[in-house]
Amino acid sequence: MQLTKAEAAGKIMVALDYPTTDAAAALVQALRGIPCWLKVGMQLYYAAGPSFVAQLKEQGYAVFLDLKLHDIPNTVKGASEVITRLGVDLFNVHAAGGVRMMEAALEGVDRARAGSAGGAPPQVIGVTQLTSTSRETLNEEIGIAGTVEDCVVRYAQLAHRAGLSGVVASPLEVQAVKTACGRAFRTVTPGIRPAGAEAGDQSRIMTPQQALACGTDYMVIGRPITGAPDPREALQSIIEELV
């Protein structure tokens, strides 16, 4: 499938992993006009809070709020209700919390929307195994036997059963997740590294082109863009690679 530049940009979620609003705002300014998603994770959210998320929405961005909720169902339901009111487009919960916890996240979304003016509800996705987790870590530290792919597929099936829209996984597991849960079940994949880029703490990686060929729906990309001397040029060259 041949993508336009705008379609390729719309598959990229730039991770705004910064300690201050000013640093994140400078990156947003540098990327102005490129129709990518923006991801606000824990570091920025704990520093900048809901008002920064609101600013991104006012600027017209699709926003992924990556807070990886993982708690008892009642707490996750309450947090999901508040997150939904922020107007984000996507947020995540840990699939390891189980089906009931993921269902509670969706109940929180519904509760926020009851009586609200409308707009599309946020998609909720389940984090499977973090892309930094290797098979060795999974088997020997965490104590889960089998391959990482087996575990990711199992968690994806739980997320699917709970009614979530998709999962966060590495691009290596996209095909197995789609086979198990259907083509429409979304895959959001961090662990993206352009050829020659440093893996850093990521264990399960692919290039943007390889991830696209595997059928990923969205790619989360942080340091290859934010750590580049010219982040705009880095994002544009990834987009060029995909069209």
Ligand X SMILES: O=C(O)c1cc(=O)[nH]c(=O)n1[C@@H]1O[C@H](COP(=O)(O)O)[C@@H](O)[C@H]1O
Question: Encoding tokens for residue 169?
Answer: 């996984």
Contact yes or no for 216/189 (Cβ under 8 A): yes
- 71 labelled catalytic: yes
Largest CA distance in the chain: 50
Chosen residue from 57, 135, 223, 232 binding ligand X by CB under 6 A: 223
- 66 labelled catalytic: yes
* 153 touching ligand X, by CB under 6 A: no
Of 52-60, 107-115, 124-132, 157-165, the window that binds ligand X (rule: CB under 6 A) is 124-132
CB nearer ligand X, residue 6 or residue 199: 199
How are beta strands 37-41 and 12-15 bridged, if at all? parallel
| Binding characters for ligand X, 68-107, by CB under 6 A (x = yes) | x-----------------------x---------------
Please name which of 17, 220, 226 lies closest in space to residue 130, comparing C-alpha atoms: 220
**Active-site residue, from 71, 89, 150, 217:** 71
Of 19-27, 29-37, 174-182, 214-222, the window that binds ligand X (rule: CB under 6 A) is 214-222
- How many other C-beta atoms can be found within 10 angstroms of the C-beta atom of residue 20? 13
Please name which of 110, 104, 62 lies closest in space to residue 87, comparing C-alpha atoms: 62
Query: What is the chain's length?
Result: 243
The residues of the shown chain that bind ligand X, judged by CB under 6 A, are 15, 17, 41, 66, 68, 92, 127, 130-131, 168, 190, 202, 220-224
Catalogue the active-site residues.
Answer: 66, 68, 71
